[in-house]
Amino acid sequence: MKHPRLLVVILFLLAASLNLSAQAQQTTSSAGSTPDTATANGPLPAQTSHDFWDGDEPGVAWLLLHPYASKGYVKRHTEPIKDRIQELDDLTASNGTAIRDVDSRAQKGMQLASEKTAMGNQHADDAANKAQMAQQAATAASTRIVSVETRVGGIDQYKSQNQTEIRFRPGQTVLSKSAKEALDQIAGDLKNQRGYLLEIQGFASGHGQTAIANSRKMADSVLRYLVLNHEIPAYRISVIGMGDAPMGDAGTMAKHSSGSRVEVSLLKNGLDQAPNP
């Protein structure tokens, strides 16, 4: 508009006239309705003037006279709002911090769970590999056990290969030259062999313990020669003094004549032909 000030003045005058008319009607109505009360108690107290921004139902005149709110009014009405806004800001900040904290813990928890899962998978893979290796080792061990059982089962299955007789003079335990040559031949045949035993049996004429003792002395003489001169292990040699026993090896009758003698029997169980495990 081109003349805003003129419009304001016109509105102001209009509002003032309306207000004066309203006040005159109120005065007339009050004087006509309660003449005795006004006369007896004196005039009514004047109504306290209120600022437009302090009244609950302000008139149009106060609206024109006070187009702007005062600082006090604005402060009184905005302070609670500011307090609530500040409270909401604090609550929002607190919630934001709590949310970030929860999110951080959730992220850490998920990361830890992922690491635990990866570690569990690694342990499972390691366990599977170890189980596979253990199964392979068990299979190899089972195969080896079968082979060993087969070999062990045949250890005590000795068979007589040959027998050599060593003769002694009556009452003597010293080996003769021919006896040593025979023992050298036996030791030479046993070189680099395995799975064998030497059974040495001594026989002597006479009776009872005397014959047994003499026969054992002759058998020990053969044993010492084989161990000391040819390094045959003593655990592969069995020595026994038979005295004047008439029975030969394996319950058969003695093939040789009686007298002082030692019978050396070679027993083998076939391990020398078996392949190495």
Distance separating alpha carbons of residues 198 and 265, to the nearest angstrom: 6
Tell me the backbone φ, ψ of residue 204, rounded to 5 degrees. Answer: -145, 150
User: What secondary structure letter does DSSP report for 69?
Assistant: -
Residue 92 is which amino acid? Answer: T
What is the domain extent for residue 260?
Answer: 159-268
Distance set, CA 82 to CA 74, 75, 85, 94, 277 (Å): 11, 10, 5, 18, 95
What share of the chain in percent tops pLDDT 90? 20
Q: Compute the distance between CA of residue 251 and CA of residue 141 in angstroms, rounded to an integer.
A: 41
Q: Which helix (H) or strand (E) holds 16?
A: helix 4-33
Neighbours of 134 (CB within 10 A): 10
202 in a structural domain: yes
Q: Please give the pLDDT value at position 109.
A: 86
pTM of the model: 0.42
Distance CA 78, CA 67 (A): 18
The number of domains in the chain is 1
- Assess if residue 92 is contained within a domain: no
pLDDT value at 257 more than 70: no
Q: Which of 46, 53, 56 is nearest to 23 (CA)?
A: 46
Task: With cut-offs at 50, 70 and 90, classify the pLDDT of residue 250.
Answer: very low
Structure-token pair, residue 182: 């025979």
Q: Which residue has the higher pLDDT, 144 or 73?
A: 144
Residue 261 resides in a domain: yes
Residue 209 burial (C-beta neighbours within 10 Å; 0-12, 13-18, 19+):
exposed
Question: What is the pLDDT confidence band of residue 180, given thresholds at 50, 70 and 90?
Answer: very high
Q: Is residue 91 assigned to a domain?
A: no
Distance separating alpha carbons of residues 160 and 199, to the nearest angstrom: 10
pLDDT at position 248 over 60: no
163 and 264 Cβ atoms separated by less than 8 Å: yes
The predicted-structure confidence for 88-139, as pLDDT tens digits, reads as follows 888 888 888 889 888 888 888 888 888 888 888 888 998 999 898 888 888 8
In a domain, 166, yes or no: yes
> Which pLDDT belongs to residue 272?
56
CA atoms within 13 A on the CB side of 245: 21
CA neighbor of 159 nearest in space, from 264, 265, 251: 265
Q: Domain for residue 36, yes or no?
A: no
Q: Is residue 236 part of a domain?
A: yes
Residue 216 has a pLDDT of 93
Average model confidence (pLDDT) across the chain: 75
Q: Could you tell me the CA-to-CA distances from 143 to 136, 149, 224, 271 in Å, in that order?
A: 11, 10, 41, 18
Residues above pLDDT 70, as percent of the chain: 63
Q: What pLDDT, on a 0 to 100 scale, did the predictor assign at position 226?
A: 93
Position 198 in a domain? yes
The CATH number given to whatever domain includes residue 178 is: 3.30.1330.60
User: Could you read off the pLDDT of 193-210 as tens digits, one per residue?
Assistant: 888 899 999 999 888 898
pLDDT (0 to 100) of residue 37: 43
